[in-house]
Amino acid sequence: MGFWNRFFWNNTLLNWAVSLGEFLLLYTLLELIRVFLLKRLRKLAAKTKTKVDDLIVQELERTRHTLFLLVSLHVASLSLTLPPRLSRLLLSLTALIIFFQVGLWATTAIRFWLERYKEEKLREDAAAVTTMGALAFLGKLAVWTVLLLLALDNLGVNVTGLIAGMGIGGIAVALAAQNILGDLFASLSIVLDKPFIIGDSIAFDGLQGRVEHVGLKTTRLRSLSGEELVVANSDLLKCRISNYRNMRERRVLLTLGVSYDTPTEKVERLPQMISDLLRGPERLRFERAHFKGFGPSALEFEVVYWVTEPDFGLFMDLQQWVALTLLKALRSEGIETAFPTRTIHLHSPSREESQGREER
């Protein structure tokens, strides 16, 4: 026993051996428990519909080996007499890894909840998904901010003075990052006011596309020609946005021009003829047809009708049908459609005017 009673760094070799055994035993036990629970819960999660076991599996997968290592090391060190500075260092490292692990668990839970919420609500309420995405980011930011302050306080940093300094520094950062903060607040405005949501088809500033993602700085859309449009949130809200999500009908204003050579009786009869032609089809509601006035090169008629469904393909089909129907009707009546013309009047000077020019 003389060998084991020898002192090494204020502890006998026996104490060091016992502490090492405690460390290895505790670390191995924690790892075995983690592996056992993962194996059992994965099988259980595959059979059940509840999401709680899926969440626990993800939390265990995100658990770091460093946590078990430092916790086991700290517990094993309690049976030893260590220098105060080393004990404080070991305790601080253990606290830091615990704070970090808590942050990972919290962000994993928030992301898990958001993904499940998207699966359930995306088809029913895309606006709620957009809102929850922004709130999830703010939740993660709050979690890591609180944990950072707790970690700094554990390290002996004056958190009160730091918060005051951060407030002053935050003003300077805000002035330097006005554009970024403008996009951030614009993102919150989009989330809360909901001028559009994911899946909406919108048009703005001569561009049109379907909203695919609303981020903290930019909104991404898929244009009609297929490319992705990336627009800063603040720039987007400065434009007048046309949102087609709540469209129920499409109004069509058609201007028709006929030749000035058209007989008066045909011009007079043309609005009624257009009305009779356009009152028949389903999903098309005729509103009016009038002789509008005298254009630069044609007698102009204004025709208004509604497509009673918002589908763009149907809108184009009916627009084509109306154009072809009116063209056939005009040709059958012998009415010519107008095209831009210009009449030039040539004036021949009289003999007296010609003689006067020659004398000059």
Check residue 268 and give its pLDDT.
92
pLDDT tens sequence across 278-292: 987 888 999 999 999
Check residue 326 and give its pLDDT.
92
Residue ranges of the chain whose pLDDT lies below 50: none
- State both tokens at 180: 């970024």
CA–CA gap between residue 37 and residue 39 (Å, rounded):
5
CA–CA gap between residue 164 and residue 299 (Å, rounded):
75
Point out which residues pair with 223 in neighbouring strands: 209
Check residue 296 and give its pLDDT.
86
Residue tagged 């058609």 (tokens): 254
Check residue 324 and give its pLDDT.
93
Length of the chain: 360
CA–CA gap between residue 293 and residue 298 (Å, rounded):
9
Check residue 289 and give its pLDDT.
94
- State both tokens at 157: 């940093």
pLDDT tens sequence across 148-203: 888 888 777 776 766 666 665 555 555 555 666 677 778 778 877 888 888 888 99
Read off the amino acid at residue 265: E
Check residue 52 and give its pLDDT.
83
pTM summary value: 0.53
Helix (H) or strand (E) holding 23: helix 13-47
